[in-house]
Amino acid sequence: MANLYIIISDLAIQFIIINILVGGNAAETFNIQTYGAVGDGVNDDSEAFTNAWNAACNVSSATLLVPDGKTYLVNNLVFEGPCAAGFIFQVDGNINAPADPNSWKDKTIWLQFDKLKQFTLQGSGTIDGQGSNWWSRGDGGDVPLAIQFNGGNQVTIQGLSIVKSPSFHLTFTSSKSIQILSVKINAPGTSIHTDGIDINGQSTDFRIINCKIGTGDDCVSIGNGSSNIYIEDLTCGPGHGISVGSLGKGNTQAQVSNVHVNGATLTATTNGLRIKTWQGGSGSANGIIFEKVTMDNVANPIIIDQYYCDSPTPCSNQSSAVKISNVTYNGISGTSSTPVAVRFACSTTVGCTDITLSDISLRLKSGGPAQSYCLNAQGQTSEPVDPPSCLSS
């Protein structure tokens, strides 16, 4: 745990130094209305956004301003970097995607940010993916992400509301040194595959602080190649909870390490703190800490599922699995909507090892006692632990 805190401390210092260097004072402000944006929510303002971005990108400490009081309709956009250091994208108005899926130019990503360093996306505005017409199509075909950062480095996202994405709201691949601060992400609990924050593809050094997420899927999903992820004061619900995985799909190798959830409230989610892997994978998930988490009517509050199978056909039994070890649950309390509140369904051949349970208090919503279930799960406990532990020593 000491090593994880050192990493987080160094990252915080790094961002402080960056803020001192750029001073927070923009050398020049580029208002999208100057570049022809209408802001009536009807006319397509994509070209104005592109032109304003191109003008601001290479100006040191520039601010690209989306002013408040208006709604700007934009189609698929790629915001290409690298740009000059200290670039701020200030979104105080509303940015809307096209409501009609047939009018989208691209069915993969709505707003894509590539190769940006020392960049900030912030503001009091709302970025609206207009996803309801996509969800009504069902679970088939291509459905676009709302926002993706690819190759980001020293990026801060702060204060925004991101809502109603057709699928994932905010995703990261091959990114490092990322701060997500006081961001609100919201979609109906019935929406499909609308993860809040998705971290994947060799991404590292994340701080997710004081965010509120309610969607139809994982509030935060930590995927293959992720490391050094710190989450604090997260509010989650509705949704599928906080997930590490899924890992190892298609007999692939996976690696996740140093994940620390330090303070969260989960309400009426379909899972709580979940680690999920497919049979047949390899690699490892280790150094994972969940602590100071409150559950309110949560299904499967604590769960490791090494038999995850999100497939229309049954998954075959396989002997290999992603190795799960060194996982700590400390200070987890509240109510479960399922009889089994603590479930460790681990591979019969690989198993889960070095699991620690301490200060656990999970009861049924009705007030009655909950249960634990273990399959090939080894570890230790520090009382109190309720429901009683089934870990083998």
Active site residues: 217, 240
Listed residue (230, 238, 272) closest to 7, CA to CA: 230
The two tokens of residue 191 are 């929406």
Listed residue (152, 158, 146) closest to 88, CA to CA: 158
Listed residue (345, 363, 359) closest to 303, CA to CA: 345
| Amino acid type, 343 | R
Alpha carbon distances (Å) from 208 to 136, 219, 287: 31, 12, 18
Residue pair 146/165 in contact (Cβ under 8 Å)? The answer is yes
Listed residue (147, 238, 151, 137) closest to 197, CA to CA: 147
- Find all residues with CB under 8 Å of 252, minimum gap 6, and list them: 224, 281, 282
Alpha carbon distances (Å) from 145 to 52, 56, 110: 23, 25, 6
**Residue 6 CB neighbours (<10 A):** 10
Q: Helix, strand or coil for residue 45?
A: coil
Listed residue (360, 352, 351, 305) closest to 329, CA to CA: 360
